[in-house]
Structures are given as structure tokens and as C-alpha cells.
Amino acid sequence: MEERNLDKAIDILTKLMNGEEVGKSFDAALYESYSTNAEVYELVHRILRRMNIQLYEYHDSLYVTAGENNQVFGFTNGDLRKELGLKVNRELYMCYFIIYQIITCFYKDSAGYNFTEYIRIEDVITAVDASLSHIIDNLEILAENETEEHSFKTIALMWNELPAATEEAVRAAKNSKAGYVKLVFNFLVTQQLMAESQERYYLKEKAKAFIEHYFEDNKGRLYQIIKGEEQEDATY
């Protein structure tokens, strides 16, 4: 192993771990080392595997995210509750569900990667309303066990008890559907996954990379329930 290749791999990892972008448009020299030097490429992937960190390539750029159950670089439920200003897990699960609906508002089909340019708070409210209504109406068919049934009933009950909005100017809060969605949008903006302009929310390239790979590699049980797919096709 050449020391200069190790140094380049470490430089790439340092930038990625600090939330910086490495790509043709951002630090092109480092990206070229990654994409053309087999040893640099292997070192980057080997180190990230050991650290339980996922690396995604998207439009000639590199992005990283914590692997499953990564307690060091990822968020625990407690971390997310604190970050979002929540008290109990059922509120957090509501936010998880809203995040999933935000993704599906942008991601249109599994055959191609078609993204809506932007969405608004009201688009997400409509998506959550429709998705929960579909799930509850078909819960006996979709739920595999009592835990899943109870979880979705709890989320649906919380959501349906909320007014659509409490004031004209939407404030991030747990007292309305719009407030919950705004709470989630604010979190995604602070994580540099989305951008906001005039109450329109846009996906950043980093978020698009994560979404594409998520739907490609691991749709998961929630996707299966929302789309009503056959249970034997699920990926956990």
C-alpha cells in the first residue's frame, strides 16, 4: 500500500465525515483519485465498512450516511426526540411516517427516478391523510401482527385528532398537522437534506442520493404496507 494513496483516502473520508462534498464539482482532484485509483477506492470502502457507514455515489459526487444501528455516527431514538423537541416515541414515529411521506411525494415510481421539483406543507398533509386512510381501511390485510396493527392505529389516532392548522403562519409545533410537518421540514433543512424558499421545499442532491439508493436497496416493511405489496416480497 502506498502511503500517498492512504493519505488521499483519509482526505476523502475526512471531508465526507465533516459533511463536505467530494465530487467533480467539489474537490475534483480528490474525486478523481477515488474514481480512477483502485487502491484509494478500496481503502475508502474498507474503512467505511469497518465504521458501519454507507457511501453513496450520485451524479459524480460522494455522500455518506450512518449504517443501521450505528450508535456513534447515527441518531438514536433519544437523539432524534431531543433534536425534534419530542417527548415520547409515538410522537417520533409520527415524524418518521411524515418523513416517509415526504420521500414518496418526491419519488414517483420504482421503474425510474422521477422527482417532483418541490413540495409544500399541504402536499405532505394530503399524502399522510391518504396513506393513513388506506392503511387503516386495509389493516386486517396489511398488518402481519398485533404490534404493527397497534402502531398504525396509534399514529392514525394522533394524526386524525390534530387540526389541519392553528394559524395562518405555520409554526413548527405538535398542535396541528401543519405544525408537525413544519417540524419535520425544519429538521431536514438543518440536516442539509432539503432547502426552503417561499414555503416551497426542495430536495438537495445528498437527499436524492439517499432516496435513490434506499428504494433500490431496501424498500423496507413500511414501503410494502403503504404500497400494499405482497408480504412475501418484503425486504426487512
Q: Which sequence spans correspond to the domains of the chain?
A: 3-66, 77-233
Which of 11-15, 26-30, 50-54, 148-152 is most confident? 11-15
What value does the mean pLDDT of the chain take? 83
Tell me the angle at which helices 28-36 and 38-50 cross, rounded to the nearest 10 degrees.
90
Average pLDDT over residues 54-58: 88
More reliable by pLDDT, 81 or 110: 81
Check residue 68 and give its pLDDT: 74
pLDDT at 32 > cutoff 60:
yes
Average pLDDT over residues 86-95: 92
CA 190 centroid distance within chain = 13
Q: Which three cell numbers stand for residue 236?
A: 426487512
Check residue 212 and give its pLDDT: 75
pLDDT band at 138, cuts 50/70/90?
confident
pLDDT at 225 > cutoff 60:
no
pLDDT at 14 > cutoff 50:
yes
Check residue 182 and give its pLDDT: 96
Average pLDDT over residues 218-235: 46
3 state SS of 107: strand
User: What span, in angstroms and rounded, lies between the C-alpha atoms of 190 and 207?
Assistant: 12
> What's the predicted TM-score (pTM) here?
0.78
Domains 3-66 and 77-233 belong to one CATH topology:
yes
Which contiguous run of DSSP H or E holds residue 55?
strand 53-57
pLDDT band at 137, cuts 50/70/90?
confident
Check residue 216 and give its pLDDT: 58
Which contiguous run of DSSP H or E holds residue 28?
helix 28-36
What Rg value do the Cα atoms of the chain yield, rounded? Answer: 20
Q: Which CATH architecture has domain 3-66?
A: Orthogonal Bundle (1.10)
CATH class of 77-233: mainly alpha
